[in-house]
Each structure stands twice: as C-alpha cells, then as structure tokens.
Amino acid sequence: MKNLRRKTLAAASAVTLGVGLALTSGLAPAAATGPDTSYLVLAPQGANTDQAAARVAAANGTVVAAYKQIGVLVVRSTNPDFATRVAGTGVESVAATTGLGTALDEGETVEVSAADVASATGGPTNEPLYGQQWDMDMIHVPQAQAVNAGSSNVVVGVLDSGISSTHPDLATQIAKDKSTSCLGGVADTSEAAWNPTTSDHGTHVAGTIAAAVNGVGVTGIAPGVKVASVKVVNDDGYIYPEAAVCGFMWAATHGMRVTNNSYYIDPWELNCRYDARQRPVWQAVQRAIRYSNSQGVLNVASAGNSNYDLAHKLSDYGSPDDGTPEARENLTSACMDLPAEAPGVVTVSAVGPTGAKSYYSSYGLGVVDVTAPGGDTRFRTQGVKSTLTDGILSTTFNTTTRTNGWGYKQGTSMSGPHATGVAALALSAHPGLTAGDLAAFLGDTSVSLSCPEGVYNPVPLIPAGPTAYNATCSGGERTSFYGAGMVDAYNVVK
C-alpha cells in the first residue's frame, strides 16, 4: 500500500497512569518496575464485567472506565506481567494500547486572510464566504435549506480533535451538555477538555456540518442541528482505541443520532482479526459500534486518503505509522480499515469540484457507500501545484495564535462531514428513521455517478510520479469510486 497517510503532528508514545505490585521471594508486595500502560480488557460477549474486573484487581490493574453494555474495561497498570496475569475465566482477551495510536491525517490548513473575509460577497444564504463554498451548491444545500435547515433535536457527534466553543460560526451550534473529551478512554465534560489544543481538524469538520447562518463567515449543511464535541484525538495527534470506544459509547448514551469519524484506529492501515495483538482492539471497536447502532446512532466514516482499493487488500508497506513500517503481504478480507469498514458504518469517498474522484481518495466496491465533496486542489494543473480554492472552506482555529477563522482543507476527512450533514438533514425531515433506515435512505437519495473509462489518474504530473495515483473504477449501479453516488441534501428533505 502506498502513501498511507501523511503524519502531520508529532508522534508520542502512550504513557498512562496506574498502580501495580510484584511479589518478591519472602517479602511483602513491592512496586512493579514496568511502564505505566493502558489496556483494553474484554469480557466474553454478552457476559458482565464483574469477573473481569476482579481479575484486573488481582493482576494489580486499575479500571479507569467500564463499558458494561459491551463488556469492555479500560485499565491501567504498571505490572509488566499484567496481560499474562489477567487472563482466565471472565476475560476473553486483553491488549495493551501503547503504540496503538494512529496519527490523524490532518493535512494542511490554508487560512483565509482577514482582508479576504472583509471583501467577500454573500451567496444564497447571505453568508459572506458562501461564494467560495462550491461544495454546497454541488449537493444542493441552498434548495434543501429552503425546505428544512435542520432540527435542534438532532445532535451530531463530532469524534475528532475538539471544537472551538468561541468560534462565531459555531458558538451557538454546540450542544455543550453533550460534549466531552474521551482521551484515555475516560469522559471529561469540562469545556476546556473538549476544546481544541493542537489541531483545528474537528473545528473544520463541525463547520461543514452545522456552521450557523448568521451573516458571518460560512454556512453549514444543516445549521439548524447541534453538534457535540467528542474529543478522541490527543495533543500529539493520535487516536487511541480506548478513546474511540469511549466516543462511540458516549454518543450512544447521550442521545446522538449521527457521528462523524474522520480518522483511523490503530497504527496499521488495515487491522487484522487474526493478529493476536490487534484482535482485542478490533473486537472492542466492533462492539462499541454495534451498541451505538442499537441505540439509533448512524456512524459515518471517511474512506481514507491513500488512493487504495479497499476491496482488494493485498499488501501494506506503510504501517505502522508510529514506528518503522513493516512489509505485510498476502493480506485477506480479515484485515479491515477501522472504523470505515466496520459493519453498520457509512463509508464516504471524496470528489473534487468536477464531481470526479479526488486523486487521493481511497475507494472499493462494496466498501464505499456514498461520495461527497472533499476537495481536489491539483486536478487543474494535473498535479503540478495546488489551487487552494478547490479545497473545502470551513471554520478554523489557529492553535498557535488561539484565534478563530476560516480556511481550506482537503481530504476524505472533509467529504465525511458532508455526508454526515446530509444525514442530519434527513433525520430532521424524517425523525422516525432508524440507523439502518437512514443509511439506506442516504444511498437511495444519492445521485448516481458512472465510472470513468480505463485507468483514472487526474494528476499524472504530480511529483510522486506519473502512475502514483492510478486507479481503476468498477461496478454498475454502485461503483467502487462513488458507491451509490453523490449525497444530495435536497433529495433527503423534499
């Protein structure tokens, strides 16, 4: 697999707090010398966690969060033999999550200058920067908002790096009572905890979904709905499995109907069920997603920016991204991109201003469900250089100056929230839809797109090489590039 992800934030190991004891011959228990480590401990599916919790205590571990509905415990321990000692009756599997963080594929943010903001002219929604939001016209947002701009009863969970609660386009849009930080797998509802610290990724995503129509900046797809900040990305840009599990469970237990997930779990692009170390993570995430579905939550995820055919996984040469990459070959369908390939998740690819697949967007027949605008800043020059305004304009937060603004990003991280915003409009217009019905409705109301003929590569002059972004589309009514087609905001509310 080539160009799996661009690591834009500094790497760090997962160092967590805990206590532990080790026995020495003839002496009372003494403090263990192992590193502070975080673990996921899973009880058997359907069983309660009491036996598992007892085994954790006996193995000198501390339960820091218990998700009893799915039989998952988040544990910390300094006992170097914890994983061995905790095994037994009541424990199905255990995995240390140290080293299992995934760097957020954030990409570059290009801010709009204050002068450009001041001189901008409004569009159909009377927002000053609307004229630069080509993506909104592409999916018929003005027509949709004339019918239904969204209901405040619909809360969208943005599982990301936090949302700026002081942004003028977002301050009125955030459900503060449903926002939290899930870092470490433990919910912290203080406002400072769920605000951004080192990344504006979540702020940008939130603006696409629900930026206010208030005569300032941009418009979101569904400005009438609310967004909740569910922070799962730590200050070093990593998404650890326990944070993702906490995020899905928080959404499920706090009345959210849709979540947006523009990230990967685990440092491996493909998480393999047969890998002894990865399997507990795979199980825990799957359980959390299934539970959230059962509580009426539809989870939307980005397909990825690797120009990779997720339906034909043969090799992975770029993982893990938090260490030295290893060559993995002869992979099978048991290796999945999480959360994008988990059952019940709507997976979204990206298109640029022409409606054709963005050069970077991953794809896959039977994997991609729908497509949406994610930006393509290189198609005009065939890859030579970027045209910034062909990216996605949304809300930003400068983490250096601590100021709010607006700027461009591109990626499937940007296409995902377009589908999420359309899903929020659909729920506003049809509140009785179940999570499964909503997923089907998104596909049924999408605008079908045909495969381009032959080998597709809009950027043959890109510095990476003339064939670096070759891709071949397949399928009929549903295609590997676009799934059921382009999401359409008007179609879900008319």
Which position among 140, 161, 169, 201 bears the catalytic label? 201
| Residues in Cβ contact with 47 at an 8 Å cutoff, skipping those fewer than 6 apart | 71, 90
Alpha carbon distance 137, 321 (integer Å): 36
229 is catalytic: no
Q: ∠ at Cα 369 (364, 371), nearest 5°?
A: 90
201 is catalytic: yes
| Backbone torsions φ then ψ of 136, nearest 5 degrees | -70, -40
SS3 10: coil
- Helix H or strand E segment including 114: helix 114-119
Contact 335, 329 (CB under 8 A): no
Q: Which of 15, 60, 64, 13 is nearest to 36 (CA)?
A: 15
Q: ∠ at Cα 4 (180, 473), nearest 5°?
A: 110
Burial class (CB in 10 A: 0-12, 13-18, 19+), 420: buried
Q: Which of 202, 181, 132 is nearest to 399 (CA)?
A: 202
Which position among 181, 386, 413, 446 bears the catalytic label? 413
Q: ∠ at Cα 454 (336, 304), nearest 5°?
A: 25
Alpha carbon distance 289, 160 (integer Å): 16
Residue 180, both tokens: 């939290």
167 is catalytic: no
DSSP string, 344-381: TEEEEEEE-TTSSBPTT--B-TTT--EEEE---SSGGG
Which position among 105, 160, 200, 309 bears the catalytic label? 160
Contact 300, 290 (CB under 8 A): no
Residue 306, both tokens: 């690797």
Which residues are identified as catalytic?
160, 201, 413
